[in-house]
Chain A
Amino acid sequence: MRFALAFVLAATLATPSQAGVAEALDDHILPGFASFAAASADLEAAARSDCTAPALAASFHDAFDAWLVVGDLRLGPSETGALSIAFWPDTRGFTEKTLASLIGAQNPIVDDPEAFAELSIAGRGLFALEMLLFDPDYSDYGTEDYRCALAQALASDLARQAAALSQGWSESFASVLLSAGADGNARFLSEEEAVRAIYTQILSALQFTTDSRIARPMGSFERPRPIRAEARRSGRSLTNVLASTQAAVDLAEALADWPLPETRAALGRVQEAAEAIEDPAFGDVDNPAARFRLEVLQQKVAAVTTAIEAEIGAPLGLSAGFNAQDGD
């Protein structure tokens, strides 16, 4: 097996820049954004017909699932655009502050989509919706309540953002990636830089999962921080870890023109470790045994990074940024 792998990698060494930027776009990124735009449009339609929290839960989860396929990308239109869709971690508590202020003032901004789009990014997107739909302090509202109009405004704004992001990728940034090295492209001075950019995104996404999605609720042994778990209100913390890891592996496979058996196997071990987790919102992390299981999950996600570094980074000669990893 290892021998076969070595052979495949060697065969690709001659033309490393042929790793598939086009395939990464066509097989993963662009359809991912299109699906997310469709799921967000469905959520908007659902909110129009019934804005109450229980009625919207399923569409919310569908949109969030669709988001995770491409949600960790921080490139092109997603570099800042992803943050107004998924504002997390919210270290300064901005989401709740913004929602509480809108509700307290019954702010008519909910009737003005253009003004709503200028609202703080912390008060928009999936996590603002999650707080409204799943936090008992907010979710108990009827159709006459301000929060109903707020849920509709948030869903509409999300759908608009999702459509814009999908369009930004397919109609603009895809061609920046595909024209890497062409005259006037200051973003990517060679084809290899475009490959590197996508490769870096894959590793950053996995690092976000280990360092934020998992490490934040783990806190320290003396002080676990379960309320820091991502999307804990909707019980999606574990789902998000799995879906984002899966997305990273899928993107890696689209980028590579060769099989990634070690990476695939590492993903399988992440899924096995996840089966042992009892609370999908990581609320039991103050129990040492539960904390240990989360730590195992973290190690398994880190092992996916190691596998991708070996199966894509090493053959392409890609390593972390010279300045980014170092400090002054």
Chain B
Amino acid sequence: MTSRRGFLASLLAASAAPRLGWAAVGSPTYLAAAQLPGGAYVLCGLDQAGGETFQVALPARGHAGAGHPSRAEAVVFARRPGYFALVIDVATGRVIHELVPPEGHQFNGHGIYIDGGATLVTVEQMAEGSAGRIGLWDVASGYTRIDGFASHGIGPHDARLMPDGRTLVVANGGIETDAQDRTKLNLATMRPNLAYLGPGGDLLDMVELDADLRQNSIRHLAVRSDGLVGFAMQWEGEPDMGWPLLGLHRMGQPPLLAEAPLADELAMRGYAGSAAFSVDESEIAITSPRGGRLHRFATDGRFIAAETRADICGIAPHPEGFIASDGLGGMITIGPDGARPMARHDCAWDNHIVAL
């Protein structure tokens, strides 16, 4: 039973004065989570020069966040298995909503705002069995759960909106994890896929790779404005196989694997942690914190070059081409002529840079 005080408080939260836009927090271009030297976790706004526009505290290490398209508001997901997500008013640093997945569900990585920020999409799995789910939340009513549907795979990790503004593309990583922790349960039989879902969750297309690559978990996505999808993978089979870690796909067509020379591929240690298209969309890059390197490919799958940077993981488009972050606090740009240092912060940047 809702108390009168609670009722009034919830009314207040829902109808609070219009939230501030991103200009109020220094007009950041990117969001990135980090760990400070003392061990505290923060969410930062970054400008194009890699400078910090705001910093707000996080109660724990988060995984990927997402920024609301207009309001200075970000959602940060708990690390897997995710029992909560926090919506943070970055102007005040206050947690304004705590999202809890439905009973038996766990957040499993990423989330995105769609419909101009009216809806939040969350990537989830069932705690038991890791069947993938997509959750939809209504932002205006204070992030209330409005719908959910199957992701058509096991252990989804990332999802993006296609350029049509309606279709979702989901990276179903294929890995079943223990209900309580991140122990992987099905590596011998895993079968990841890339799934395209309509607004109601109907399956529009699905890609599975050849059986040889069955243990290449499809985990992170980048979408080009013409609908070309890049998917970054993490190899869960025997090490030192040197399989490709990036695929390119268009709905309705067969996937294309982007392969680097064998020595480069092996140096990635079977792990790609993030993917992004360059600012002019002529290139796509993947990062490997394990290999401490970044691979650039043309969008026809041709390998262009590798860049080396310890613990590199976050990557996003930047006027120079790409911006990349790493666990040593570095921010570098990567252009046609290679890498250039840009900024160094006294923190460890977490896995992803989210472009706003």
Contact = CB atoms under 8 A, between A and B. Distances in A.
Given A322-B327, A324-B327, A328-B351, A120 B311 contact: no
Interface string A24-65: 000000000000000000000000000000000000000000
B289 A324 contact: yes
Interface stretch (A189-197, A248-256, A282-290): A189-197
B157 to A, nearest CB: 7
B327 A121 contact: no
B263 A323 contact: no
Interface string B226-266: 00000000100011111000000000000000000111101
Interface string A79-113: 11101100001011010000000000000000000
A15 to B, nearest CB: 18
Interface stretch (B1-9, B191-199, B336-344): B336-344
B310 A186 contact: no
A322 B262 contact: no
A323 B307 CA distance: 17
Contact of A187 (B63, B182, B234, B309): B309
Which has the most chain A C-beta neighbours within 10 Å: B234, B306, B351?
A: B351
B327 A323 contact: yes
What are the nearest 3 A-B pairs in CB distance? A322-B327, A323-B289, A321-B311
A121 B326 contact: no
B292 A186 contact: no
A323 B326 contact: yes
A257 B120 CA distance: 54
A94 B157 CA distance: 33
A308 interface: no
Given A91-B238, A122-B262, 13 more contacts: A79-B293, A89-B240, A120-B262, A121-B263, A186-B332, A190-B344, A193-B328, A196-B310, A321-B310, A322-B35, A323-B273, A323-B326, A323-B348
Contact of B266 (A83, A184, A323, A328): A83
Contacts of A121: 261-263
A200 interface: yes
How big is chain B's contact interface, by range?
Answer: 35 or more
B214 interface: no
Contacts of B293: 79
A102 B52 CA distance: 57
B340 A184 contact: yes
A187 B266 CA distance: 20
Interface of A: 74, 79-81, 83-84, 89, 91-92, 94, 120-122, 183-187, 189-190, 193, 196-197, 200, 212, 321-324, 326-328
Contacts of B332: 186
A326 B350 CA distance: 10
A323 B264 contact: no
Contacts of B263: 80-81, 83-84, 121
B348 A322 contact: yes
7 contacts: A89-B239, A121-B261, A186-B338, A190-B344, A326-B351, A327-B234, A328-B63
B289 A321 contact: yes
A14 B264 CA distance: 38
A183 B109 CA distance: 37
Contact of A189 (B157, B261, B290, B341): B341
B39 to A, nearest CB: 11
Contacts of B189: none
Contacts of B312: 323
B330 interface: yes
B298 interface: no
Contacts of A183: 341
B161 to A, nearest CB: 20
Contacts of B267: 74, 79-80, 83
Contacts of B240: 89, 91, 212
B66 interface: no
B328 A186 contact: no
Which has the most chain B C-beta neighbours within 10 Å: A79, A120, A190?
A: A79
A323 B341 contact: no
B36 to A, nearest CB: 12
A328 B242 CA distance: 20
A308 B262 CA distance: 32
B241 A92 contact: yes
